[in-house]
């Protein structure tokens, strides 16, 4: 087919016109050129979790020298105490009717207090205060110093309990003496309400029956229990 000269000229013009139209930028309806070039607002900063350690016992529930000695014991006995998320302190200066066993959360910093007994040999007059301490078998006295929790166990006499290994000369016969953490009627709130103080153990750290199950699970194996006067 032959095209006329006029057809070629008109076709070329139309082609050029189409290319020119495609090259033009048509602004969006309703948006000014200035608004189209306005930068977007900056994104808000992303919050980062604070992973710094919290201050331990900010309310001062535990007396200062007991806390300092316990923290030192963590380092001294680090091979026997690998877990440093929690530790347990016993203040034998306090009356048995008071909360004097402290669970210290070393990650979050807070402290929870419980009641615990002392040995009858440490308080022969049953005054409610422990006055003497011993590591001697059959003394029925409490022993002070650093212990490592050795895991949950079960005994024929005391039932569920937590085993302890004494780490110092003042308590290193704890296994021989069967010094453990267990529940006891004489550590229950009803006994305290009736007698005005807790009963006495044979040297064990006896707890209220209601406190023992959760404590037994949390103590586990490889955490510090530090008893001091």
- Tell the residue number behind the tokens 């807790």, with chain if given: 198
Q: Is the pLDDT of residue 19 over 70?
A: no
Residue corresponding to tokens 């959760």: 214
Residue 144 scores a pLDDT above 70? yes
In this model, does residue 11 exceed pLDDT 80? no
Please answer whether residues 116 and 207 qualify as being in contact, where contact means their C-beta atoms are separated by less than 8 angstroms: yes
- The mean-pLDDT minimum among 41-45, 47-51, 96-100, 169-173 falls in 47-51
Confidence at 81, pLDDT banded by 50, 70, 90 = very high
Q: Is residue 27 over pLDDT 80?
A: no
Token output for 79: 């091979």
Mean pLDDT, residues 66-89:
98
**Per-residue pLDDT at 47:** 62
Residue-level pLDDT at 91: 98
Confidence band of 223 (pLDDT split at 50, 70, 90): very high
Mean pLDDT across the chain, nearest whole number? Answer: 87
- Could you tell me which residues are beta bridge partners of residue 111? 104
pLDDT at 14: 44
pLDDT bucket at 54, cuts 50 / 70 / 90: confident
- Write out the DSSP string of 14-40: HHHHHHHHHHSPPPPTT--HHHHTSPP
3-class SS shares of the chain: helix, strand, coil, % to 5: 25, 20, 50
Q: Which residues pair with 1 in a beta bridge?
A: none
Q: How far apart are CA 145 and CA 139, in angstroms?
A: 17
Give the angle 202-208-212 at the CA atoms, nearest 5°: 95
Which residue has 């615990």 as its token pair? 116
d(CA 201, CA 64): 27
Supply the pTM of this predicted model. 0.78
Looking at the predicted structure, is the pLDDT value of residue 25 above 50?
no
């Amino acid at each position: 087919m032959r095209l006329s000269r006029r057809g070629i000229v008109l076709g070329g013009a139309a082609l050029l016109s189409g290319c020119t139209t495609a090259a033009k930028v048509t602004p969006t309806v309703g948006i000014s050129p200035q608004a189209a070039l306005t930068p977007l607002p900056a994104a808000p900063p992303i919050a980062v979790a604070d992973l710094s350690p919290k201050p331990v016992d900010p309310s001062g529930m535990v007396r200062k020298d007991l806390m300092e000695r316990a923290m030192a014991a963590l380092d001294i006995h680090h091979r026997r105490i690998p877990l440093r998320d929690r530790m347990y302190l016993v203040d034998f200066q306090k009356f048995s009717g008071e909360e004097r066993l402290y669970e210290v959360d070393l990650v979050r910093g807070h402290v929870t207090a419980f009641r615990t007994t002392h040995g009858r040999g440490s308080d022969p007059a049953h005054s409610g205060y422990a006055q003497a301490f011993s590591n001697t078998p059959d003394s029925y006295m409490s022993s002070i110093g650093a212990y490592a929790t050795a895991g949950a166990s079960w005994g024929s006499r005391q039932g569920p309990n937590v085993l302890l290994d004494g780490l110092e000369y003042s308590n290193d016969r704890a296994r021989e003496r069967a010094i453990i953490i267990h529940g006891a009627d004489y550590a229950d709130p009803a006994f305290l309400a009736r007698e005005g103080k807790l009963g006495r153990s044979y040297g064990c750290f006896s707890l209220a029956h209601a406190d023992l199950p959760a404590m037994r699970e949390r103590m586990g194996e490889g955490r510090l229990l530090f008893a001091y006067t």
